[in-house]
Amino acid sequence: MGWRSGASVQPRPPREVVAGPFESCEREERDHDDEPAARSASKSFAMPRRPPEPTLPSYSDLYPKSAWTPTRRLKPVVDTAGVLYRDVEEVGLNAIASARASASRDLVLITADLHQLDIATNLVANLADVGVHNYVVLGNRPPTCEAVRGRLACVWSTLLEPKYRARLRGAMTNEVRTMWLLRQIYFGRLVGLGYNPMLLDADVILFRDPLALIAAELPGYAARNHLAQILRCATL
147-187 confidence digits (pLDDT tens): 999 999 999 999 887 766 666 666 656 777 788 888 889 99
Mean pLDDT on 19-27: 51
pTM, rounded to two decimals:
0.63
Does residue 81 lie in a domain region?
A: no
End-to-end CA distance of the chain: 130
**Mean pLDDT of all residues in 22-36:** 52
Task: Answer whether residue 93 is part of any domain.
Answer: yes
Q: How far apart are CA 127 and CA 174, in angstroms?
A: 29
Helical ranges in 86-194 per DSSP H: 88-91, 93-100, 117-129, 142-146, 162-169, 175-192
Domain-located, residue 153: yes
* CA separation for the pair 23, 32 (Å, rounded): 14
Query: 123 lies in a domain?
Result: yes
Most confident of 30-34, 112-116, 210-214: 112-116
pLDDT per residue over 114-157, tens digit each?
999 999 999 999 999 999 999 999 999 999 999 999 999 999 99
On whether residue 193 sits in a domain, the answer given is yes
Handedness of CA 214, 222, 123, 94 (dihedral sign): positive
- What's the average model confidence in pLDDT over 37-63? 70
Look at the alpha carbons of 14, 19, 23, 28 in this order and tell me if their dihedral is positive or negative: positive
Work out how many domains the chain is built from and give that number. Answer: 1
Within a domain: 70 = no
Contacts 24+ apart (CB under 8 A), 75-81: 75/128, 76/150, 76/151, 77/150, 77/151, 77/152, 77/153, 79/153
Query: Does the CA dihedral 195-102-143-79 come out positive or negative?
Result: negative
Within a domain: 196: yes
Q: How far is 111 from 183, CA to CA, in rounded Å? A: 7
Q: Is the pLDDT of residue 54 over 90?
A: no
Identify the H or E element spanning 154: strand 154-156
The confidence band for 8, taking pLDDT boundaries of 50, 70 and 90, is: low
User: Any bridge partners for residue 110, and if so which?
Assistant: 137
| Residues whose CB falls within 8 Å of the CB of residue 107, separated by 6 or more in sequence, listed in order | 97, 100, 101, 134, 135, 136, 190, 195, 196, 197, 198
User: For residue 184, how many other CB atoms are within 10 A of its CB?
Assistant: 16
Residue 200 in any domain: the answer is: yes
Beta partners for residue 139, in sequence order: 112, 156
**Domain boundaries, position 205:** 88-232
